[in-house]
Structure formats: structure tokens, C-alpha cells
A and B are shown apart, each in its own frame.
Chain A
């Protein structure tokens, strides 16, 4: 299995009605790689990420996770994948959302334990044990009884990360995990992500945190109007790219972030 990529996207396209949101996307992510997706608002970053776990069905092309096509059967013509097969593939793919999406009617501990019980078939006791360990890992052991409404944004996002990690994913998707946070809370979430990267987790991260992208990413892909127009090492994309759309984007970014 060593030479099978964790994620392989080939010619992926997606339209919403008349609007083509992704065109001819090719992207390969190897095990333990960290890839950051950057680009202007509306360029299709979230849509691309959501195609990887098939929260958004793509129209054309292929998305393979460890060699397996996600969302469709391998037959020709292809048909939608049976629900249970898709659910099984999703267990291996964690996702962290901009707005956390914790379940408000469950405590932090219950949020983390729920999928272990309902999806992995753990006993309540085993699930609670694992959930406690996961909360401790993101530094929130003492918040296990709190409901999400009682947690800060940074704490909520760390619970959401723990909820994904509890499932032992082999791939983690992050969609602007710090964009909804007050500036002073961004650091604690990025630190958890840095630790995760250092432990060898395969990660695809949509982000506007260029500092994080520059220091953690193995590769950066720049999206514009649904296409990957630049891709390479952080240095190549952030400092050496001749692509005018990348330069324009970075210039706007620097202007907005200097005062």
C-alpha cells in the first residue's frame, strides 16, 4: 500500500446549476503530507475539500482515497455508491468545519463519544474512556461536562478536532478552522494542528493563515475560479510564483494584515 496516495483527484469538476465551481482539478496528497489550499473567496476551496469526503458530490473526474473511488461505483457507467460503503469510507476521513458544528444538545464528552458508539460500535464505557483521552490531548480534560454554548470558540474548535481524532482517521480535512475565531484564540487551535502534523497526520487545510501555511505545509495549492493555478512548496508559491493571480492575492493579503 505504500505507493498508493492518500488522496488522488483526477479531472474533478463540479457545477452548481449553471455555475462551474471546480474545473479539471488534479491533486495528489501522499501519506503524512500537509497540503494547504489558499485562494480568494468563492474560488472553490470549500467545495474541493467537501468533494474529498463526498459531502459534495462531484460531477466528473475521480476522487480516490487510498486507491478507492469515493462516492461512485467502479462500474461503467458509474452509479452512486451504496450508502453503507460511503459511510465506511468516511470513517477514515476526519473533517473540521469553520463553524465547529458541535452538537449543542450534547456535552463536550458526549460530542466526542457519540460517533464511537453509533458508528464504531463501542460500548458507552469504552467510548467515554477514549473520548476523555481525546479531550485531554487537545487540552480540554476539565471541560468534559460543558455544553458547547459554554465554551469559547477556540475550545469548541478543539473539541471538534478531538471528535474527529477519536475516530482514528488516516486523513484530516480542515475548512478554515480558525476563521470564525477571535484573533487571540487562533493560536491554540493552530498549535493543536501543528502537533497533529508533527505526528505525521495527513492533512488538507483550507486556510487564510499564511504563517501557518508557510511553516507547516509541505505543499500549497492556489485556487482561482475553480482551478488550481499554482502549486508547489510554500516557498515556490508564496515567494517565487510569477503567477499574477497569486501575486495579486498575496499583495491584498499583506495590505490587509499590516497596519
Chain B
């Protein structure tokens, strides 16, 4: 074993891990916005909107992320829209996680007692304000553990975006493994970095969860 190869590559791998992390965070942020929109569609009065929401969820949960990614990357240029790899990557992660996040939100919405919204309605709140001030904040805190979990899954899935040329952790490891002929040292380093990031996220999630529980 040659540790030197790993040590030489380490700064580059760490900076690529930074890219992995922020792309995943951007992905889950987009996923939350989309997830909330999809949930609104799924609880809307219009049957067409409800069906559109259901189709969205089953498509993005049913098609492998890699295939979604390739679709975005190759299809959009095909119809004349030029997408930088980074945008395709974040878009794909966000679209896919939106489907899962909307299911998480749906579960946490169902966990909020009906009286929470009724108390606000009885005071004369508009439905938009009921959503924004009463339901969404409670959904977010109920969802926190599941969202952290989703972020961890997304961070691991983000290794797939290496195929569209984003120099995140997996792709950078590839390059170093090929250039140094030390794949084992390089990939074990990459694995440890992924593991460290996810353990840190899980710990952060546990702290958040305890905080929220304490606030009542």
C-alpha cells in the first residue's frame, strides 16, 4: 500500500467533497421547494392538479436517478436548451428528491391535528396564511429527521452526477485513480470522506431533532 498517493490526492479529494456537499444541499433545497409544490398539487381541489402531482411522484420515484440525469443532460440540449452540467446535476437531484420529500411532507401533514388549522381559520386566517404560518413550520419540524435521512441518501446518490462531467468527489477519485495507478488507496480515501460527511450529517440531524423536541 502506498499512502503517499492518497496523501497527495487528499486536498483535491476534499475540495471535490465540498462540491459534492453543496450540490447535495442545493439538491435537497430544490427538493423541498418542489416537494411542497407537489404536496400542494396533491391536496388541491382540482383533479387535474392532483393527478399531475401523483404522476410526478411515481415518475421520479420509479425511474433510476442515473437515467433521469442522462435524460436531462441529453434531452434538453436536443430541444435547444443548453444546460451546464452543474445545472443538470442539481436539477436532477432536486427533481428526484422532490418526489420523496413530497411524500415525507404528506406524512407529516397528516400528523398535524385538524384543530391546528381550524383554530387559525376560526380567527379569520386566509388559507395561504394557515399554510405559511401554521402548517408549514410544523411540517418542517416533524419532517426534520426524515429530511436529514433524505439528504444522506442524496449525498450518496450524487456520485452518479460524475457521469455528466461534474468534478465532484467520485469523478475526482476516478481521475486520480487512473493517473496514479493506486485505485485502492484513492477509493478508500473517497469512501472515508463520504462516510465522515454522512456521520456528521446524522449527528447534526440528531442535535436538531433534540432541539425541536425541547421547544415543544
By beta carbon, the residue of chain A nearest B115 is: A101
A95 touches B134 (CB 8 A): no
Residue of B116, B123, B127, B137 near A119 (CB, 8 A) is B123
Residue of A53, A105, A149, A150 near B122 (CB, 8 A) is A53
A235: interface (CB < 8 Å): no
> Which residues from B are CB-within-8-Å of A87?
124-126
B138: interface (CB < 8 Å): yes
Task: Summarize B's interface: helix, strand, loop or mixed.
Answer: helix
Total chain A interface residues with beta-carbon distance under 8 A:
30
B118: interface (CB < 8 Å): yes
From known contacts A90-B124, A105-B138, A147-B215, infer whether A118 and B129 are also in contact, taking CB-CB under 8 Å. yes
By beta carbon, the residue of chain A nearest B213 is: A149
A194: interface (CB < 8 Å): no
B216 touches A104 (CB 8 A): yes
A55: interface (CB < 8 Å): yes
Looking at the assembled complex, report how far the CB atom of B128 sits from the nearest CB atom of chain A, in whole angstroms.
10
B138 touches A55 (CB 8 A): no
By beta carbon, the residue of chain B nearest A89 is: B124
B122 touches A55 (CB 8 A): yes
Residue of A90, A94, A101, A147 near B116 (CB, 8 A) is A101
Q: How many A-B residue pairs have CB under 8 A?
A: 68
B64: interface (CB < 8 Å): no
From known contacts A118-B133, A147-B216, infer whether A55 and B121 are also in contact, taking CB-CB under 8 Å. yes
Total chain B interface residues with beta-carbon distance under 8 A:
21
B141 touches A105 (CB 8 A): yes
CA distance in complex: A204, B123 (Å) = 16
Chain B 4-31 per-residue mask, 1 if CB under 8 angstroms from chain A, else 0? 0000000000000000000000000000
Looking at the assembled complex, report how far the CB atom of A7 sits from the nearest CB atom of chain B, in whole angstroms.
15
A167 touches B124 (CB 8 A): yes
> Which residues from B are CB-within-8-Å of A84?
126
CA distance in complex: A193, B53 (Å) = 47
B113 touches A99 (CB 8 A): yes
CA distance in complex: A176, B147 (Å) = 38
A90 touches B133 (CB 8 A): no
> Which residues from A are CB-within-8-Å of B126?
83-84, 87
A103: interface (CB < 8 Å): yes
From known contacts A103-B116, A104-B138, infer whether A115 and B123 are also in contact, taking CB-CB under 8 Å. yes
From known contacts A118-B133, A148-B216, infer whether A90 and B119 are also in contact, taking CB-CB under 8 Å. no
Looking at the assembled complex, report how far the CB atom of B206 sits from the nearest CB atom of chain A, in whole angstroms.
20
A36: interface (CB < 8 Å): no
A90 touches B115 (CB 8 A): no
From known contacts A99-B113, A103-B116, A103-B134, infer whether A88 and B141 are also in contact, taking CB-CB under 8 Å. no
Chain A 35-73 per-residue mask, 1 if CB under 8 angstroms from chain B, else 0? 000000000000000000101000000000000000000
Add 16 more A-B contacts to A115-B123, A115-B125, A119-B124 (CB < 8 A). A55-B118, A55-B122, A83-B126, A87-B124, A87-B125, A87-B126, A90-B122, A90-B123, A94-B122, A95-B122, A103-B134, A115-B124, A118-B133, A119-B125, A150-B216, A164-B123
